[in-house]
A and B are shown apart, each in its own frame.
Chain A
């Protein structure tokens, strides 16, 4: 019986961690998306200092979470999201408002994809 209890406890712990992970990924992707969107709004209004700060914060937020995200996300998805954030930073430094908006949309698409895959719903199960 001890063996069954250990296995059941491990399974429950794993399931709880999986649910906690969904919340963490959701918070991370929403945070990065917000920063990218704010950066695009700043760029469109010509506030390039604020745009640069927000682009850097978005990039760093994503990079800081890398050791965690590498454990739970496919590496190709991480690389695509990292590329989009680098593009956002590059466009901000070059002060190209249109390119910044485009990169922000790309970041949003990647973040939404990642968050969507991690959510439990019929689409992600089947």
Chain B
């Protein structure tokens, strides 16, 4: 092969490899981060405590660097991610046992409204403005601050509100009404597929399912979009709609 052709073939192959390498690196980091988030638990996915926010931000930054620069070894991204997962897992485990450490890392909830009184010192300490308080109350459907007995600024930054009993919705117990507790409905047919494990967990069998399908004029589970049931036998059924 002439020298020029050899050089051009090497260059082309190198370019092709670079793309493949970046795809493989992305897949590895994607898996590593999914596993990390799963190890750190569900709390990581919802409202974040200060320490969790730090970890989430750092992980995204650390993962981005080896993805953008192929000259950086992948280990430079993976090792810090594993270190952060280690720190977060250990700190959470210790925080379960040690209240002081939890207070130090996550802080303590603050009463913004205590017994109907606005705690201005706490608001100043938390740099929590009246506008923010009004916004959070509005989001909870509270327009009149005088109806709030307690408002607590939680460690994840959310505001919990407890209204005076007179301003709370009446419960069936207060109204002395007899109500049945609802059972948890479980899906037994999903998009035409029978979930046998769920069916058995409810204590039903395939004969029961066939009866239910007949009752809803369905010839087979394939005609069902979703069907769920609870232990009392209450069934929700939605047939599959044919495509237009």
By a CB distance below 8 angstroms, the chain B residues around A27 are none
B:72-103 near A, CB below 8 Å = 72-75, 79, 82-83, 85-86, 89-90, 93
> Is the pair A4, B89 in contact by a Cβ cutoff of 8 Å?
yes
Partner of B82, one of A4, A14, A75: A14
Chain A residue with the shortest CB-CB distance to B71: A75
Partner of B75, one of A1, A7, A10, A71: A71
A:2-59 near B, CB below 8 Å = 3-4, 7-8, 10-11, 14, 18
CA distance A14 to B75 in the complex (A): 10
> Is the pair B75, A11 in contact by a Cβ cutoff of 8 Å?
no
Chain B residue with the shortest CB-CB distance to A69: B73
Interface extent on B, as a size class?
10 to 19
> Is the pair B39, A3 in contact by a Cβ cutoff of 8 Å?
yes
> Is the pair A8, B71 in contact by a Cβ cutoff of 8 Å?
no
Partner of B73, one of A3, A4, A7, A72: A72
Consensus secondary structure, chain B interface: helix
| Chain A proximity of B75: nearest CB distance (Å) | 6
Whether, in the assembled complex, A63 has its beta carbon less than 8 Å from a beta carbon of chain B, the answer is: no
By a CB distance below 8 angstroms, the chain A residues around B85 are 7
By a CB distance below 8 angstroms, the chain A residues around B39 are 3, 7
> Is the pair B86, A11 in contact by a Cβ cutoff of 8 Å?
yes
> Is the pair A74, B86 in contact by a Cβ cutoff of 8 Å?
no
A-B pair count, CB < 8 Å, reads 38
Partner of B86, one of A10, A70, A76: A10
| Chain B proximity of A120: nearest CB distance (Å) | 14
> Is the pair A71, B73 in contact by a Cβ cutoff of 8 Å?
yes
Given A7-B39, A71-B73, are A18 and B79 neighbors across the interface (CB < 8 Å)? Answer: yes
> Is the pair B82, A10 in contact by a Cβ cutoff of 8 Å?
yes
> Is the pair A70, B73 in contact by a Cβ cutoff of 8 Å?
yes
CA distance A74 to B90 in the complex (A): 31
CA distance A74 to B65 in the complex (A): 12
> Is the pair A74, B73 in contact by a Cβ cutoff of 8 Å?
yes
CA distance A111 to B117 in the complex (A): 69
Residue among B85, B86, B90, B93 with the highest chain A CB neighbour number at 10 A: B86
> Is the pair A4, B71 in contact by a Cβ cutoff of 8 Å?
no
By a CB distance below 8 angstroms, the chain A residues around B86 are 7-8, 10-11
Q: Which residues of B contact A (CB under 8 A)?
A: 39, 70-75, 79, 82-83, 85-86, 89-90, 93
- 21 residue pairs from A and B, CB less than 8 Å apart: A1-B93, A3-B89, A4-B90, A4-B93, A7-B86, A7-B90, A8-B86, A8-B89, A8-B90, A10-B82, A11-B83, A14-B79, A14-B83, A18-B79, A71-B73, A71-B74, A72-B73, A72-B75, A73-B73, A74-B71, A75-B71
Q: Which 10 A-B pairs have the closest CB atoms?
A: A11-B86, A75-B71, A7-B89, A4-B93, A7-B86, A4-B89, A76-B71, A71-B73, A14-B82, A72-B73
